[in-house]
Amino acid sequence: MSATPSRERLPVVTVALEPASVLLVDDQAEGLLALEATLAPLGQRLVIARSGREALRHLLTRDFAVILLDVVMPEMDGFETAQLIRERERSRDTPIVFLTALSQGQLPELRAYAVGAVDYLLKPYEPEILRSKVGVFVDLYRKTELVRRQAEALREAQKREHERELAEANRRAEVERARVREELLRREMETSRSQYRWLEAVLAALPTPLALVEPDSGRTLLANRAAQGLAGGCLAYREAKDLYPDAVFRGADGQPLPEAAMPLLRAARGEDLQGLQVEWELNGQHGAALAFSARMPQMHGRPETVLLALLDVSALRTTERELRRALLAARDSPLDAARLVEGLRNLPAPEAPEGGSPPAADTGQAAVPADPPSEHSREGNG
């Protein structure tokens, strides 16, 4: 089985060309009639001109295999006409055969060849000789035309082949560019997924309740374990409130919060929360939290996101309420005040993280002093 050639074959140009044109120039009608009768057997297109000017007009629009030009003509003779024919770019190489009834002499022949004639015949001429000479020029013209057309066909074939190869190269380049784009996109998506999984792991390990929220809609994209466990997850998920229909959420003024005023939806609407207080009653338990939010810009292929952080202050609120009750009771009894001070001294210190010391609590007040010095101590120092 033969392989398909990579290049298309050159087109075959047949010899069946259209008839060649022969220009007959003579001011005498009988001379033109004789020429037509002599050349008719060649089967070519015979074009008649009755003056040199008419012949020049024909040469402006058509190419001829040969020109049969009479020498003696009024206004513009054959020599002047031949000289103008040679001065034109299109007809410069067209063969010219002079026909004349002048007696043979050296001067007319030399002048004929000087203006570019290829032959010089005297009238009366032999029809066979004239027909043979014109036939040679017609064959030469047809062969030249065939070569010209073959060259044009070759150029067209080479142009088509070049265009085909260029199109194929462009197609391969486009396929390669598409493959590279897909590979880069795949790597970028894989990197984005890896970064997102890493972010999920980091958020899940943090003790601070955190949630990533979709702007405007308030849909929760991600919430860590601490956020899911705070207030039954109602502060991190809108849907969680459906699981606790009896849950009550209040603001800093103690008034119940509607759903639109919850920290999640306020942060999604673009509000910048800086310690928004919310308290809740859920399954007989009380709790409180401070809400903070920040707008995260689009990055790493991820859309714009809202970060909601919740600080659990339930234990602080419980301690605050107990201290208030104790202070109210201490107003009426000095003994209760002494017990209150003693109880503050005996409060256990906050547990320190491994490898560190407990953090110092900034209460905004002076520390409780130790036992007052005894009288003997004052005297000893005094």
pLDDT digits (tens, 9 = 90+) for 43-64: 999 999 999 999 999 999 999 9
How does pLDDT run across 179-188, given as a tens digit for each residue?
Answer: 999 999 888 8
Is the pLDDT assigned to residue 340 strictly greater than 90? no
Span 326-333, average pLDDT:
72
Query: Residue 313 is encoded by which pair of tokens?
Result: 């202050």
The residue that leads in pLDDT, 283 or 9, is: 283
Domain coordinates of the chain in residue numbers? 21-150, 206-319
Give the residue, 145 or 365, on which the prediction is more confident. 145
DSSP letter, residue 14: P
Average pLDDT on 78-86 reads: 91
3-state secondary structure of 220: strand
Give residue 12's pLDDT.
Answer: 55
| DSSP letter (8 states) at residue 260 | G
206-319: same fold as 21-150? no
Q: How many CB atoms lie within 10 A of CB 165?
A: 12
Rounded (5°) CA angle 353-354-359: 30
35-46 pLDDT, tens digit each? 999 999 999 999
Question: The tokens of 63 are what?
Answer: 């190419």
Is it the case that residue 379 has pLDDT exceeding 90?
no
- CA dist., res. 23 & res. 33, Å (int): 13
Residue 261 confidence (pLDDT) above 80: yes
d(CA 194, CA 375): 71
Say what the pLDDT of residue 334 is: 61
What ranges in the chain are assigned the alpha helix state H?
A: 29-39, 52-61, 78-87, 106-114, 127-205, 225-229, 263-268, 314-330, 334-345, 375-381
What are the two backbone dihedrals, phi and then psi, of residue 132, each rounded to the nearest 5 degrees?
-65, -45
The CATH T-level fold of domain 206-319 is Beta-Lactamase (3.30.450)
pLDDT in tens, 210-256: 999 999 988 998 899 999 989 999 999 988 888 888 899 999 898 99
* Three-state secondary structure of 46-66: EEEECCHHHHHHHHHHCCCCE
Measured N-to-C along each axis, helices 106-114 and 78-87 cross at an angle, to the nearest 10 degrees, of 20
State the pLDDT at residue 60. 92
Instruction: Kindly indicate the confidence band of residue 178, based on its pLDDT and cuts at 50, 70 and 90.
Output: very high
Whole-angstrom Cα distance, residue 169 to residue 180?
A: 16
Among 13-17, 26-30, 339-343, 349-353, the range scoring the smallest mean pLDDT is: 349-353
CB-CB contact of 219 with 272 (8 Å): no
Q: For residue 365, what is the DSSP state?
A: S
Indicate the CATH number for domain 21-150.
Answer: 3.40.50.2300
Q: How far apart are CA 281 and CA 276, in angstroms?
A: 17
Percent of the chain with pLDDT over 70: 80
Contact (Cβ atoms closer than 8 angstroms) between residue 89 and residue 66: no
